[in-house]
Amino acid sequence: MPETSATDSSQLTDLAIVGAGIAGCSLVVALRQQGWGGSIVLLESGRGEEGRAASRRSRHNTGLLINHGAPLFNLTAEAPRSPLLSGLVEGGWIAPFRGAIRSLDGSGRIGPPISDGFTAGQLWQGCGGMHQLAAGLLALAAAQPGPTALRSSTLVRRLRPNPQGDGSAWSLDDANGAELLRCRWLVLSGTLLTHPRCQQVFGWDGVPLQQAAVQLGDPLLDQAAAALAAMESTASSNLLLSLPPELTPAWQQQPWRLLQFTPEAQQRWDLRRVSLQAQADGRWAVVAESSAAFADRHRHVYGSRSSAAQLLGAAPDAQAEAAVIAALDEALQQALELPTSGADCQLMRWGAAFPQRPGLPTELQLCPHSRIGFCGDYVETRGFGRVEGAIGSAMALAELLRPHL
């Protein structure tokens, strides 16, 4: 997949997709597999394609790779599986998840898995990291005709409708007001540009989609913008631990690789899920995902290494970050009675980790008059709030969009 930088000269592209997570990458595959060969540019504020199915890597230690967004994904329907799933499997990008799943109740007892929506159906994981899911999707797209480029570490700050008389419908600007590109069609695969949290958390002067909708006067877009702005979501503050060798045996002996916390356990320890991950260099890593209540209480605390701090303007607070890390670490030790002393710690916060219903109605996914569409796990489709929903919404949008391109 060609990589271009935000400093490349502006150009007109047929389709711009903001967000190179699972939904955005799935849309590229779906359109290419339908035979559309127009130009596509993916713009991603993070370090690369992956979104919340992300893997944290280290420049200083190539053997360290931690799945800090989702340790696995599940599919419950046939629709997303063929030919997309078969291509990912045959290409060696994903494989069935074989790890043991257990639950922890409010008394600290280990029990069988609980039904939380994320472990039903077939379970999958990326081969060599969850980031391989998005990478595999783009690889499948690259095997089809049509130019596709990815611009990572690129923040789209403003959406300007109908900027030129050159056939473009949208111009996308960065935080300094410089034009990133112009496009004939635009798709938003995330909610940062559509929700008031961009004002509440990052201090923006308005919601970009709402500002654009006022200029366009498109009733369908007005409905979509209102639905997206009203959508609620829960956050997650995730603690990433890289265990030193002396701690590995105690953790490795656990009868689980994914531990779910029951509602009572979440209330007691403020943790939702813990995953134990083997590393290529023989070490082990632990990811402790906070409860929604904990994340809400610490909503303005972002990891200093996160894109929210580096690109979106969320001011890092070292003292607050250390306090959150310490609180999650203590909760982890109390809940599991396992040692963490000496582990390397990082904090990763997902500000809109889990969308809450009602999501965006499918009839508002495409606004043809304004040449804009929406896909993501926030669309009201099967798999809502999960990877399956992100894939399914992208496939549905491709079917709606294709006749207009």
The C-alpha atoms of residue 286 and residue 273 are separated, in whole angstroms, by 11
- Please give the span between the terminal C-alpha atoms of the chain, in angstroms, as a whole number: 22
128 in Cβ contact with 65 (< 8 Å): yes
What's residue 8's pLDDT? 43
Answer whether residue 338 shows pLDDT above 90.
yes
Q: What is the mean pLDDT of residues 117-134?
A: 94
pLDDT confidence tier of residue 202, bands split at 50, 70 and 90:
confident
What's residue 5's pLDDT? 40
The C-alpha atoms of residue 323 and residue 315 are separated, in whole angstroms, by 16
- Structure tokens given for 173: 């600007």
What's residue 299's pLDDT? 86
The proportion of the chain whose per-residue pLDDT surpasses 70, expressed as a percent, equals 91
Indicate the CATH number for domain 12-54+134-231+356-404: 3.50.50.60
Q: What is the mean pLDDT of residues 34-54?
A: 92
pLDDT digits (tens, 9 = 90+) for 136-180: 999 999 999 999 999 999 999 999 998 677 889 999 999 999 999
The C-alpha atoms of residue 49 and residue 390 are separated, in whole angstroms, by 14
Q: What is the mean pLDDT of residues 76-94?
A: 82
The residues, any chain, with a CB within 8 Å of residue 187's CB and separated by 6 or more, are 15, 16, 17, 18, 24, 27, 372, 373, 374, 375, 397, 401
What's residue 315's pLDDT? 63
The C-alpha atoms of residue 400 and residue 271 are separated, in whole angstroms, by 40
* Of 58-67, 128-137, 305-314, 315-324, minimum mean pLDDT range: 305-314
Domain boundaries, the chain: 12-54+134-231+356-404, 97-126+233-355
* Of 78-82, 176-180, 288-292, minimum mean pLDDT range: 78-82
The C-alpha atoms of residue 150 and residue 49 are separated, in whole angstroms, by 8
55 in Cβ contact with 275 (< 8 Å): no
Answer whether residue 58 shows pLDDT above 90.
no
pLDDT confidence tier of residue 306, bands split at 50, 70 and 90:
low
366-367 and 372-374 strand pairing: antiparallel
What's residue 9's pLDDT? 42
What's residue 79's pLDDT? 52
Answer whether residue 6 shows pLDDT above 50.
no
What's residue 236's pLDDT? 95
Domain covering 97-126+233-355 assigned CATH 3.90.660.10 in the classification: yes
What's residue 268's pLDDT? 98
Answer whether residue 334 shows pLDDT above 80.
yes
pLDDT digits (tens, 9 = 90+) for 314-328: 666 889 999 999 999
Mean pLDDT, rounded, of the chain: 91
The C-alpha atoms of residue 318 and residue 304 are separated, in whole angstroms, by 8
pTM: 0.94
Instruction: Reply yes or no: is the peptide bond before residue 358 cis, omega within 30 of 0.
Output: yes
Q: Name 181's bridge partners.
A: 172
What's residue 280's pLDDT? 83
Taking residue 203's Cβ as centre, other Cβ atoms within 10 Å add up to: 11
